[in-house]
Amino acid sequence: MGPRVRTKRDAQDAGGDESTRISEYTVRRLSVYCHNLEELEADGVDMVSSARLADLTGTNPAQVRKDLSYFGNFGKRGTGYRVTDLKNRIRKILGIDRRWKVVLAGAGNLGSALFSYKEFEKNGFQIVAILDSDEKKVGSRWDGVQIHSMARCSDIVRKSGAEVAVLVTPAAVAQDVADQLIAAGIRGVLNFAPVKLDAPDHVQIRNVNITIELEGLSFALRGREPGIDE
Amino acid sequence: MGPRVRTKRDAQDAGGDESTRISEYTVRRLSVYCHNLEELEADGVDMVSSARLADLTGTNPAQVRKDLSYFGNFGKRGTGYRVTDLKNRIRKILGIDRRWKVVLAGAGNLGSALFSYKEFEKNGFQIVAILDSDEKKVGSRWDGVQIHSMARCSDIVRKSGAEVAVLVTPAAVAQDVADQLIAAGIRGVLNFAPVKLDAPDHVQIRNVNITIELEGLSFALRGREPGIDE
DNA sequence: CGCTGTGAATGTATTCACAGCG
DNA sequence: CGCTGTGAATACATTCACAGCG
């Protein structure tokens, strides 16, 4: 029903099924607009122009207007956008006007940190189950949420009703775990393991690769001398 | 000396100073090629074609060749690329043929998880100091690395020789901490706080925003019904 | 031959610039 | 007037297609 994300893969797809395809860049920016609108709302601001929003989010006014125009005419000419209204509309567009149940696959350091990361809960992503293949961890609870054996993956995913997984296993087992999650009905995976996951078309994969980001910094910095202000 | 990353901001810059500008997309892919070359090397493979590398990394052969061609002619026609040689050249291009010293700003859950994240060390990014403004944490050590007061930021950064910071503070203080790090001479920041950081042009900022990634999944999934295989 | 390296062609994202409404 | 919404123009990234070397 809603528009689909356009990915590289879509270009090769045979059947176009949805109306307008929305680029991943637009979707990312919508998240950013939304976050800033929440801040404006908290500050009691009730109207905002594309210029102001662009300024806050680090883009330009035409970009803001174009991004929004894919989904409807939300603004008033001469005045701008109503903050609360726009925020709510974007939340609906992004599908975050409801709660998402999330299963955390991997109860290591990073898993633990993400479990207690407040932003998840705050944005409606609720971790309802934890999986780990280390039997020594199985049975303990984090803040009331039990750690289950990876062997029970299918069971746990179905019973919990989770549709999204956060994958924080070692790289070596990431594909295997992803396969199990997908077989259990998971439709979206946020992957922190530094490997490319293969998945069927109906499953969405997002990667967060910290090493790649650091190497990007390294590239940008390399060859430049450290500051001369010493 | 090395090529620079092209960013949106560069488009507005007055002075073009470097030869060819390399897109951020290319740099990201170089990281991925490099990682896969390391695996091929470990498997004892010594030649690889652009087609094979494309297949492994999820891109296409022309893209691989074009990415590499920005930096020189590394391949042999009719044969492909020598794995070890290409890996070393990419490492040099990315500036990861040496160690980078990193300061970790923020000793909370996420900071702790990143501190013990093996991939950092494995890729030559060494955390040499930890900063936190919570005086209760100051003085303790993680695996031999001491946690210092944020108040001593400038001192610690200079003495440690770190050029890169990983910022994992609460959003509310992120800009303030970034300003201090930059004033202390940090030239690259990997920012995990969900705020847009303002920084001078000579400082590189990379953002990792977990919420944005989850919202991207939400958007892609929203409106589709859960699998009909129940 | 087989594969690289690369201009030219295509596809996509961003920005411009202005008509049109409140 | 001021600002939105948007077609047209531009900038950029990817892919094609082939000349040319080992």
* Protein-to-nucleotide distance from the CA of B166 to the C1' of D11, whole angstroms: 33
d(C-alpha A155, C-alpha A149), whole Å:
10
Phi/psi of residue A164, nearest 5 degrees: -120, 145
What pLDDT is recorded for position B223?
82
Per-residue pLDDT for chain A (230 aa), expressed as one digit of tens each? 445 444 443 333 333 335 578 999 999 999 999 999 999 999 999 999 999 999 999 999 999 999 999 999 999 999 999 999 999 999 999 999 999 999 999 999 999 999 999 899 999 999 999 999 999 999 999 999 999 999 999 999 999 999 999 999 999 999 999 999 999 999 999 999 999 999 999 999 999 999 999 999 999 999 865 543 33
- Give the distance from residue A79's alpha carbon to the nearest chain B alpha carbon, in angstroms: 26
Structural domain of residue B113, as residue ranges?
100-213
Q: If you measure CA to CA, which chain A residue comes closest to B189?
A: A217
Predicted pLDDT at A223: 81
Nearest to A156 by CA among A118, A107, A221: A107
Q: Strand pairing of A204-207 and A188-191?
A: parallel
d(CA B230, CA B222): 19
**Structure confidence at residue B11 (pLDDT):** 34
Q: Is residue A134 part of a domain?
A: yes
Q: Write out chain A residues lying below 8 Å of B212, CB-based.
A: 28, 31-32
pLDDT at B19: 57
If asked whether residues A60 and A79 sit together in one domain, one would say yes
Distance CA A62 to C1' C19 in A: 15
Write the burial class of residue A94 (CB in 10 Å: 0-12 exposed, 13-18 middle, 19+ buried): buried
Q: Which long-range contacts (CB under 8 A, 24 or more apart) does B35-41 make?
A: B35/A194, B35/A211, B37/B83, B37/B84, B37/B86, B37/B87, B37/B90, B38/B87, B40/B83, B41/B83, B41/B84, B41/B87
H helices of chain A, in order, are 24-42, 50-57, 61-69, 83-94, 109-115, 118-122, 153-160, 171-183, 210-221
Question: What is the rounded CA–CA span in Å between residue B134 and residue B147?
Answer: 10
Would residue A228 count as lying in a domain?
no
Same-domain check for residues A53 and A71: yes
Is B118 in the same domain as B185?
yes
Q: Where among A43, A75, A94 does a domain terminate?
A: A94
Q: How many domains does chain B have?
A: 2
Q: How far is the CA of A52 from the C1' of C11 (A)?
A: 31
- What DSSP assignment string belongs to A94-146? HT-SS-EEEEEE--SHHHHHHHT-HHHHHTTEEEEEEEES-TTTTT-EETTEE
Distance from CA of B78 to the nearest CA of A (A): 28
Asked if A130 and A148 count as a contact pair (C-beta separation under 8 A), the reply is yes
Report which DSSP code applies to B216: H
Identify the residues numbered 64 to 83 in chain A whose C-beta atom is closer than 7 Å to any atom of strand D: 65-66, 68-69, 73-81
pLDDT at A230: 33
Tell whether A120 and A196 lie within a shared domain.
yes
Amino acid at A6: R
Q: For position B72, which CATH number holds? A: 1.10.10.10
Q: Which of B181, B212, B225 to mutate to test the interface with A (most CBs of A within 10 A)?
A: B212
Write out residues in chain B with pLDDT < 50, as ranges.
1-2, 4-17, 227-230
Residues B70 and B121 in one domain: no
Please give the pLDDT value at position A209. 97
Question: Alpha helix (H) ranges present in chain B?
Answer: 24-42, 50-57, 61-69, 83-94, 109-115, 118-122, 153-160, 171-183, 210-221
| pTM of the model as a whole | 0.91
Q: CB A24 to CB B216 under 8 A?
A: yes
Residue A15: what pLDDT?
31
B105 lies in the same domain as B208: yes
Q: State both tokens at B11.
A: 């488009």
